[in-house]
Amino acid sequence: MSVLPTEINYGNFLLDIHSTLLEDFDTNSRSGKRIFVVEKSKSLVIKELSMETNHPETYDGRQDHIPALKTPEIESFTNVYEGKDYTIDFTVPEFTAVCPKTGLPDFGVIFISYIPTSRCIELKSFKEYILSYRNVGIFHEFLVNKILEDLIAAIDPKYLKVIGDYNARGGIKTIVTREYTKA
């Protein structure tokens, strides 16, 4: 049986695709790799992902565009109780973005707490804003900072706190917090 290898660059992964019959496939010859096999009739698609993840140089420059990332506008409405200090809290329990390193989805909960001045966050537009991150590759740390900065620009609050509480990935749970107090 012949093997027709093709290499495809896909993000950070090198996909090594072979078309061959199942009985010709030998997993022992591919040590040091994680191999995913999908059977398609009498052929296979083999995706090899390197298990080595220590590539710090691949992070440089990947997130430089985040501060200028265009997102839907966060609308606001007039706070008729301006001058009264009260706190507004809301939670995004099913937040999803994409890991810029692996291309896999990142899930978490976003908590927002703020004391408004003259404007309050309009929730429908905020929902659209949050949903716009669904297909964006963004590090946890940068997402929390981006949300905080966009909310400050939209409503100029007296106080604002944004927490990103992410599901564990690789056995590590990440919680990122940033606070702002108007001077």
Binding site members: 121-123, 140-141
Catalytic residue among 26, 64, 85, 106: 106
What the block records as the tokens of 107 is: 């899930």
Q: What one-character DSSP code corresponds to residue 25?
A: -
Closest CA to 110 of 148, 149, 157, 163: 163
List, as residue ranges, the binding site for substrate: 121-123, 140-141
Q: What one-character DSSP code corresponds to residue 76?
A: E
- How far is residue 178's CA from residue 162's CA, in Å, rounded to a whole number? 6
Catalytic residue among 26, 60, 89, 99: 99
Q: Helical H runs in 48-122?
A: none
- How far is residue 115's CA from residue 87's CA, in Å, rounded to a whole number? 5
**Is 99 considered catalytic here?**
yes
Rg, the chain, Cα only: 22
Diameter over CA atoms, the chain: 79
Residues contacting residue 114 through CB under 8 Å, at least 6 positions apart: 87, 88, 121, 151, 155, 157, 158, 159, 160, 161
**Is 106 considered catalytic here?**
yes
> Cα 9 from chain centroid?
21
User: Which residues are catalytic, by number?
Assistant: 99, 106
